């Protein structure tokens, strides 16, 4: 190193700092030290993230960001919907207590729409949302003036372009659009009503597109219905086939037993989801790992007699999901469905972040009761990856219902992301 | 006073995926460089870069827009690197850095630069963690002494002293290797 002598190390440090600034600024080096420092700066500038890595990470981050944003919206909208439901029920109660005709100025912010016998109500929702309608229905019996309320859930599953759902109600009904929610939002506590929802494609959708059909929703109410497409959306332009790797992770034999018992139905439901994605299934139990297979029969055989360990921490189980199976690259949904009947253990935050870094979404289904502390750990673990924690006991859904719902939601996220 | 572009993007990125992607593109090389120089391993630097941006996404709501987004991000990267070393209990062994992309792949110069980079990364491994970090941020990261001090939570004078001592150590190691010595 060249340069004049300095009185103290502090002065030398000050001078070096000036030379570093000079080396970074460019221009002819004033001495050997600046020249050497400039070489180091150039070496630093040559270190860049590999383009392929950077692009893949960007894709994963954007997808994760999108999921997190939707989860946040879902929480807000759920709260808003609950509030609006309370307000609407209050209005209904007031109407019962005070049956005078309501003037326009007295209309609530939710403004129910009176429906005649043949009225329809059009609801604009996109392919990642559900619409919740609060419908007040005047019934003929037992008392002509009695009023019942019901909520109708209209959901647009994956791969469907924006559709106008038209809901036809019975005479003397009124309907209020409460909110639109991300697809898959549970809406428990629905009551019955005589509603006949139908759906028609929106303008612009080809007439050649087959019609939509209705099937019962997994919701516990006959009033709830889910609009599902009776079409093969792969026929729609602009939607290339997608790959979906579903890895089941079970921390107890209970999860495997339930999965095995319902596997025939479950595999039929999943593989017939809209778009007929290219599915593969795998399994991690902490004792045994079954790598992905696209053959549902082979997977079913693997489920029988699979060994399950107890006491495996979820950090270790998640590590195995990252390193122990062969996820596909490209446009692949990487989904872990965790089946838990025990405690999460330590280290789940780091393990979840590592999974998220690989684009893996972790949904957790609690098979039995769960204390608040464990629920909070599992909730955080799922949220870090953009997934959900759901509790089987309190939902009214079966295990198969939830698995199908979670898979459908991931497919929707891929489409909208 | 106009808002810093990073701060504007950070504000939008709370709800806008495209804004987050833009922030990522602006800083991914810088974060990767910092972690690469820390770990000496391309794979580890890539993993830690991913973890850094995921953590940044989770904490974006807590970011205070003061024109210091990059410093904030490097603060996260620093913690991720510290976690990594705590778990691994030691500095990782250096991998070959042949997989490092060269923006201007002139064959001879690229080979020479890789060799130099290899020597520098090896020498950095033998510096004390504080000195290495100060040098990485000030020289390779091209932060001012004040910015380096903010990231490291030290005074500016302390950072200048650390950089000075790191520079002396680095030169000693590089000279030693050049003369045929082998670092332990």
Per-residue pLDDT tens for A339-350?
988 888 888 998
Query: Which chain B positions have a beta carbon within 8 Å of A17's beta carbon?
Result: 138, 145, 160, 163-164
Per-residue model confidence (pLDDT) at position B183? 47
Per-residue model confidence (pLDDT) at position A187? 40
d(CA A231, CA A253): 38
State both tokens at A3. 């340069």
For the segment B93-111, what is each residue's pLDDT rounded down to a tens digit? 334 344 445 444 455 666 6
ipTM over 0.85: no
Residue B182 — pLDDT band, cuts 50, 70, 90? low
d(CA B37, CA B52): 15
Per-residue model confidence (pLDDT) at position A103? 31
d(CA A117, CA A413): 38
Q: Any chain A CB within 8 A of the CB of B161?
A: yes
State both tokens at A306. 């699979």
Q: Any chain A CB within 8 A of the CB of B68?
A: no
State both tokens at A38. 């400039």
Taking CB atoms and an 8 Å limit, are B37 and A47 in contact across chains? Answer: yes
Query: Which chain A positions have a beta carbon within 8 Å of B28's beta carbon?
Result: 49, 54, 57-58
> Given a cut of 50, is residue A276 above it in pLDDT?
yes
Taking a contact as any Cβ pair under 8 Å apart, which residues of chain A between 51 and 80 contact chain B? 51, 53-54, 57-58, 60-62, 64-66, 68-69
Q: At what angle do helices A348-357 and B42-59 cross, to 10 degrees?
A: 110
Give the minimum alpha-carbon distance from B138 to chain A in angstroms, rounded to a whole number: 8
Q: Any chain A CB within 8 A of the CB of B95?
A: no
Pick from B24, B29, B77, B101 the residue to mutate for testing the A interface (most A CBs within 10 Å). B101
Give the minimum alpha-carbon distance from A358 to chain B in angstroms, rounded to a whole number: 9
Taking CB atoms and an 8 Å limit, are A384 and B54 in contact across chains? Answer: yes
Taking CB atoms and an 8 Å limit, are A16 and B29 in contact across chains? Answer: no
Per-residue model confidence (pLDDT) at position B177? 59
Residue A153 — pLDDT band, cuts 50, 70, 90? very low
> Given a cut of 70, is residue A204 above it in pLDDT?
no
Taking CB atoms and an 8 Å limit, are B113 and A46 in contact across chains? Answer: yes
Query: Which chain A positions have a beta carbon within 8 Å of B99's beta carbon?
Result: 50
Taking CB atoms and an 8 Å limit, are A60 and B42 in contact across chains? Answer: no
Higher pLDDT, A309 or A178: A309
For the segment B27-76, what is each residue's pLDDT rounded down to a tens digit? 999 999 999 998 888 989 999 999 999 999 988 988 888 878 999 999 99
> Given a cut of 60, is residue B88 above it in pLDDT?
yes
DSSP labels, A190-202: ------EEEEEPP
Per-residue model confidence (pLDDT) at position B17? 85
Per-residue model confidence (pLDDT) at position A78? 67
Can you name the residues that pair with A250 across neighbouring β-strands? A339
What would the mean pLDDT of A39-56 be, rounded to a whole number?
87
Q: Any chain A CB within 8 A of the CB of B19?
A: no
Query: Which chain A positions have a beta carbon within 8 Å of B51's beta carbon?
Result: 353-354, 357
d(CA A288, CA A256): 12
Question: Residue A162: in which H helix or E strand, if any?
Answer: none
| Residue in B24, B29, B142 nearest the CB of A48 | B29
> Given a cut of 90, is residue A231 above it in pLDDT?
no
d(CA B177, CA B94): 15
Query: Which chain B positions have a beta carbon within 8 Å of A356's beta carbon?
Result: 54
Taking CB atoms and an 8 Å limit, are A58 and B47 in contact across chains? Answer: no
- Show Cβ contacts of residue A11 under 8 Å, excluding neighbours closer than 6 positions: none
Per-residue model confidence (pLDDT) at position A382? 92
- Show Cβ contacts of residue A87 under 8 Å, excluding neighbours closer than 6 positions: A108, A109, A110
Q: Any chain A CB within 8 A of the CB of B79?
A: no
What would the mean pLDDT of A381-388 be, rounded to a whole number?
89
> Given a cut of 70, is residue A2 above it in pLDDT?
no
Q: Of A13-22, A80-89, A299-308, which gets the smallest average pLDDT?
A: A80-89
Other C-beta atoms closer than 10 Å to the C-beta of A110 total: 16
- Name the residue in chain A with its Cα closest to that of B148: A17
Pick from B54, B114, B116 the residue to mutate for testing the A interface (most A CBs within 10 Å). B54
What is the pLDDT of chain B when averaged over all its residues?
82
What is the pLDDT of chain A when averaged over all its residues?
67
What would the mean pLDDT of A162-183 be, rounded to a whole number?
39
Taking CB atoms and an 8 Å limit, are A61 and B53 in contact across chains? Answer: yes
What would the mean pLDDT of A239-255 be, rounded to a whole number?
80
Query: Which chain B positions have a beta carbon within 8 Å of A353's beta carbon?
Result: 51, 54-55
Q: At what angle do helices A51-97 and A348-357 cross, to 10 degrees?
A: 110
> Given a cut of 60, is residue A145 above it in pLDDT?
no
Give the minimum alpha-carbon distance from A12 to chain B in angstroms, rounded to a whole number: 7
Q: Any chain B CB within 8 A of the CB of A295?
A: no
Residue A244 — pLDDT band, cuts 50, 70, 90? confident
Per-residue model confidence (pLDDT) at position A391? 82
Per-residue model confidence (pLDDT) at position A281? 93
Q: Any chain B CB within 8 A of the CB of A207?
A: no
Question: Residue A352: in which H helix or E strand, if any?
Answer: helix A348-357
| Residue in A9, A47, A68 nearest the CB of B100 | A47
d(CA A370, CA B31): 40
């Amino acid at each position: 190193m060249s340069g004049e002598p300095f009185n103290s190390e502090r002065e030398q440090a000050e001078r070096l700092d000036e030379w570093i600034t000079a080396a970074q600024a460019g221009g002819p080096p004033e001495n050997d030290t600046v020249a050497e420092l400039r070489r180091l700066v150039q070496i630093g500038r040559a270190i860049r993230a590999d383009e392929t890595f950077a692009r893949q990470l960007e894709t994963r981050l954007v997808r994760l960001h999108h999921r997190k944003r939707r989860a946040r919206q879902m929480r807000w909208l759920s709260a808003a919907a609950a509030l609006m439901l309370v307000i609407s029920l209050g209005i209904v109660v007031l109407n019962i207590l005070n049956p005078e005709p309501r003037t326009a100025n007295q209309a609530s912010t939710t403004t129910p729409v009176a429906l005649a016998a043949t009225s329809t109500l059009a609801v604009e929702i996109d392919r990642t949302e559900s619409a919740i309608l609060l419908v007040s229905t005047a019934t003929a019996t037992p008392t002509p003036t009695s009023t019942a309320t019901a909520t109708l859930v209209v959901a647009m599953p994956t791969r469907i372009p924006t559709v106008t759902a038209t809901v036809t109600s019975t005479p003397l009904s009124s309907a209020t659009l409460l909110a639109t929610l991300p697809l898959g939002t549970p809406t428990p506590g629905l009551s019955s009503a005589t509603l006949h929802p139908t759906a028609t494609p929106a303008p612009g959708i080809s007439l050649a597109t087959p019609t939509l059909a209705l099937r019962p929703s997994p919701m516990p109410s006959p009033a709830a219905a889910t609009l599902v497409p009776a079409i093969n959306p792969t026929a729609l332009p602009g939607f290339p086939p997608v790959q979906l790797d579903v890895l089941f992770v079970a921390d107890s034999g209970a999860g495997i037993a339930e999965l095995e018992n319902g596997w025939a139905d479950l595999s039929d439901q999943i593989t017939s989801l809209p778009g007929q994605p290219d599915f593969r299934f795998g399994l991690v139990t902490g004792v045994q790992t079954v790598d992905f297979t696209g053959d549902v029969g082979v997977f079913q055989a693997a489920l029988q007699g699979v060994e399950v360990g107890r006491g495996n921490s979820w950090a270790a189980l998640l590590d195995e999901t990252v390193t122990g199976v062969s996820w596909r690259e490209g446009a692949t949904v990487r989904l872990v469905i965790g089946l838990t009947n025990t405690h999460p253990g330590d280290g789940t935050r780091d393990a979840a972040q590592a999974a998220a870094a690989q684009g893996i979404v972790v949904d957790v289904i609690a098979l039995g009761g769960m204390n608040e502390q464990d629920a909070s750990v599992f909730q955080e673990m799922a949220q870090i990856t953009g997934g959900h924690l759901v509790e089987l006991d309190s939902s009214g859904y079966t295990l198969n219902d939830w698995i199908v719902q979670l898979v459908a939601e991931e497919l929707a996220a891929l489409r909208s992301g | 006073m106009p808002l810093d572009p990073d701060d504007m993007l950070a504000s939008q990125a709370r709800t806008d995926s495209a804004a987050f992607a833009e922030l990522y593109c602006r800083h991914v090389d810088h974060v990767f460089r910092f972690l690469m120089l820390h770990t000496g391993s391309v794979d580890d630097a890539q993993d830690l870069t991913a973890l850094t941006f995921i953590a940044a996404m989770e904490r974006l709501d807590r970011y205070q827009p003061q024109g210091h987004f990059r410093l904030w991000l490097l603060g996260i990267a620093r913690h991720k690197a510290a976690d990594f070393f705590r778990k691994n209990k030691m500095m990782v062994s250096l991998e070959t850095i042949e997989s490092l992309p060269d923006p201007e792949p002139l064959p001879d110069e690229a080979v020479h630069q890789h060799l130099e980079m290899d020597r520098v990364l090896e020498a950095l491994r033998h510096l004390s963690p504080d000195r290495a970090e100060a040098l990485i941020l000030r020289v390779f990261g091209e932060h001012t002494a004040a910015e380096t001090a903010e990231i490291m939570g030290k005074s500016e004078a302390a950072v200048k002293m650390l950089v000075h001592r790191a520079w002396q150590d680095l030169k000693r190691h590089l000279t030693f290797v050049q003369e045929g010595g082998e670092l332990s």
